[in-house]
Amino acid sequence: MVPYMWIGDFVRCHSVVTLLRQRFPDCAVDILATKLCAPLADYMPGIRQAIVSNLPRGKLALAQQRALAERFKRESYGMALIMPRTWKSALAPFFAGIPHRTGFVGEARFFLINDLRFGERALPRMVDRCATLALPRGAKQPAAWPMPELRVPPAEIAAWRSRHDLMADGRPVVALAPGAVGPSKRWPSHAYAALTRRLIADGLAVWVLGGPDEKPLATEIAGDSGARDLTGHDLRDAILALASASVAVSNDSGLLHVAAALGTPSIGIFGPTSPWHWAPLNALAGVVEAKSELACRPCHKPVCRLVHHRCMREITPEEVLATTRSALTAAARGPEVPA
């Protein structure tokens, strides 16, 4: 599998893994991954291994493509699913001579892909586009796709908490993921800071997660509240933190998909993007959106074109706090058992 390499899209592609395992139960499934996304593959049931390669964006990088193709050749793959629609994403499978290469036409890839699929733009969601490639040509889409799933062994979580001096003290943990690709998808940092103070006043532990670029944001949010800044370079830390948390609160970002696939009750804060299009396939514990009707929403733009950013600024800490409290109460009750 050649998936999209954004964190959320990579998680979405686990639905494709499940479909392939159902269709070809005797075949191994490997996935191409960047160094950033590779830890996710370790927790995906049905994946044999991740082939790690950091191909540069915006360049063909023919030498690296050929080196990757040599790696593919050593594995003797019989089939490649190429989900991105770019020309260069199909190069290594082509150079490797993988006999069956499936993908959408995309950038006129007529000789690179020999199982060309059409109609990509008629499929409304990313998961519909990716998962359709795992079905036989012309097959009808199922009523529901398999849910993405990430499984983390409890012993690994316990060891991680011990290493980071985060041993359980009886307090539920709320993990915050305040980052996102594009500033328009970010709930304001002062709102996250206010939420943090209220959660800690409720007797909860708060962890702030994200990559190295979110370090200044985490510092601002945590302040002197006692919240822990767990931002850093290794996505594995965020995966284990989310697996350990009682509830996750996140913008529309990759970590929201990670939390939902782990089964952690997750609350998504959506502004410029549509939850129907971009929320995780897994059920969320809550979706928070601005209540006012905005003609510009959803715009799906990384930067607010009208500058006011009302779709995020009008969401109050009190709304998110109430949704978080409800999710914590539901989690404490445990799953409902049918009568």
The predicted-structure confidence for 163-191, as pLDDT tens digits, reads as follows 999 987 889 999 999 999 888 899 999 99
Contact 225, 198 (CB under 8 A): no
Q: Which residue has the tokens 């998808």?
A: 185
- Per-residue pLDDT, 8: 95
**What pLDDT was estimated at residue 248?**
98
The pair of structure tokens assigned to 321 is 């706090």
Place of tokens 């002197």: 224
Residue 238: how many other CB atoms lie within 10 Å = 24
Q: How many helices (H) and strands (E) does the chain have?
A: 14, 11
Q: Residue length, the chain?
A: 339
pLDDT of the residue at 190: 96
What pLDDT sits at residue 222?
Answer: 95
End-to-end, the C-alpha distance of the chain in Å comes to 42
Residues in the chain with pLDDT values less than 70: 335-339
Residue with the two structure tokens 């998962």? 131
Looking at residue 261, what is its pLDDT? 98
3 state DSSP class of 205: strand
Per the listing, tokens 């109609």 go with 119
Structure confidence at residue 107 (pLDDT): 87
DSSP 117: E
Query: Are residues 199 and 321 in contact, defined by beta-carbon separation less than 8 angstroms?
Result: yes
Give the separation between CA 41 and CA 37, rounded to whole angstroms: 7
Residue with tokens 């499936």: 102
Q: Which H helix or E strand runs over 101? A: strand 100-104
Nearest-angstrom CA–CA distance, 12 and 138 = 22
pTM over 0.85: yes
- Comparing C-alpha atoms, which of 189, 191, 201 is closest to residue 226? 201
**Residue 86 CB burial class (10 angstroms; 0-12, 13-18, ≥19):** middle
User: CB neighbours (10 Å) of residue 156?
Assistant: 16
At 302 the pLDDT is: 83
What does the pLDDT read at residue 296? 83
